[in-house]
Structure 1
Amino acid sequence: MSGPTLRDGNISIRAIRVRDGRALERELLNNRTWLRKWEATNPTGPVGFDARASIRSLLAHARTGNGVPFAVEYDGEFAGQLNISGMSYGSLSSASVGYWVAERFAGKDVIPTAVALATDHCFFSLGLHRMEICIRPENAPSLRVVEKLGFRYEGLRRRFIHINGDWRDHFCFALTVEEVPSGVLRRWKDGRVPRGVGSVPAADRALAEKPLRLG
């Protein structure tokens, strides 16, 4: 399964290709400091990274219907990635959204637009019912994304994903298709996002600042 090209103004998402490997490697290298603290890591130890092999793996998952990998572009220039993963149909009909953007494109609404485009595609073209985004409590730019788009806060997941060398807490946000009958992008552009639905309660913010007691 490959994704279509979806566009709003000068921002677009399209199916990632193996030949994007060079641009992907360049952006990851140039944005190493910007991205490192948010990167997923392997809990069993460091592994080498091959951009083309990573893309081939994403495309293999797409062929089995488990995901849709997108390249994010700004004015036709490779700007980052957005991946729909963990796709499930039937009684669950859900998926998760993950993304990153190069630092020089930050503040241009690239990721909110990309997430809105991808979520609308999953709801109205692929027939999914629920989309989820999980974000580290320290990741203020990503938290602004879900607030802008009105993803509803659902709770704190302790030690949820291995990021930058350790198991990290994440805040979970979600939307169901019934909440956005006109689409995520249209609701945001029209200024109809309900106020406060993406806000994290102070109690959960405080809890996330405390290490989970182990053993």
Structure 2
Amino acid sequence: MALGWPAVLVDGPVRLRPLRRRDADAWLALRARNSGWLEPWDATSPVPVTGPRPTFGAFVRTLAAQARAGATLPFAIDHEGELVGQLTVSSITYGSLRSASIGYWVSEHVAGRGIMPVAVALATDHCFVALELHRVEINIRPENRPSLRVVEKLGFRDEGVRERFLHIQDDWRDHRSFALTAEEVPEGLLNRYKAARA
């Protein structure tokens, strides 16, 4: 297995754990209930996709293979034992860069409860400590206010706009890029977040 994987990260009622094939029913139901909430932010393919969509099992197998290779950490987000979203650490790069990107989504029925800042802080600390990465970045569409609030609460630096960065809703969309380096949170991001809220 790759460095830092598999991992289970917990703080209070928030738990990050590997996404599993047996999550299929809960994950698919959650995505269906949240289709309108998530569709404006979901990446699309600029190349027409033909043939049947991959099954959930194939989706999880692909993510698991990427995790074993050390390129991705595909976490399910549980809150009080209920699957409520997903957080993926991707583009993990070592060498002179030692960086990764974090992407996430959460169900609308639990949005605004502080689940996602805790989940992102747990994953970021894991990247800095277990993976010994130097930099974590998060890219967000400028219109996505709930997601922007997550990085604002956590104190990620706004590094500006990346024009036509990601294909979403059949067009190339601008994103704002936010980042944090390990030196900025020697006490840990989760500890800093909790101290700021106290």
Distance in 2, Cα, partners of 1:100 & 1:83: 9
Match of 2:91 in 1: 86
TM-score of the two chains, using structure 1 as the length reference = 0.86
Within the candidate set 28, 40, 43, 1:40 is matched to 43
Are 1:59 and 2:64 matched, yes or no? yes
Query: What is the TM-score when the length of structure 2 is the normalising length?
Result: 0.93
Structure-1 separation of matches of 2:185 and 2:54: 38
Preserved contact between residue 3 and residue 69 of structure 1 (Cα < 8 Å):
no
Instruction: Give, in angstroms, the shift of residue 125 of structure 1.
Output: 1.0
State the superposition RMSD in angstroms: 1.2
Q: Which runs of 5+ in 2 are unaligned?
A: none
SS of the residue corresponding to residue 147 of structure 2 reads: helix
Q: For 1:118, give the aligned amino acid.
A: A
Q: Is the 8 A contact 1:22 1:51 kept in 2?
A: no
Which of 148, 170, 176 is residue 175 of structure 2 equivalent to?
Answer: 170
Q: Hey, what's the Cα distance between the residues in 1 that align with 2:152 and 2:102?
A: 15
Output one character per residue of 1:91-142: Cα deviation in whole Å (capped at 9) or x when no partner: 0000000000011110111111100000000001110000000000000001
4+ runs deviating over 3 angstroms: none
Please point out which of 10, 13, 27 is paired with 1:10: 13
The answer for the alignment partner of 1:153 in structure 2 is 158
Partners of 1:74 and 1:88 in 2: CA distance = 29
Match of residue 75 from structure 2: 70
- The correspondence for 2:145, drawn from 125, 140, 157, is 140
> Counterpart of 1:184?
189
Among 111, 127, 134, which residue is 1:106 paired with? 111
1:93–1:129 CA contact under 8 A, matched in 2: yes
Unaligned 5+ residue runs, structure 1?
A: 193-215
Q: How many residues align?
A: 192
Question: C-alpha separation between the residues in 2 aligned to 1:167 and 1:24?
Answer: 27
1:141-182 deviations in Å (ceiling 9; x for gaps): 010000000000111100000112211000000000000001
2:134 maps to 1:129 = yes
Give me the whole-angstrom Cα distance separating, in 2, the residues matched to 1:163 and 1:114: 24
Larger relative contact order, structure 1 or 2 (CA cutoff 8 Å, min sep 6): 2
Amino acid at match of 1:14: R
Aligned match of 1:24: 27
Question: SS of the residue aligned with 1:191?
Answer: helix
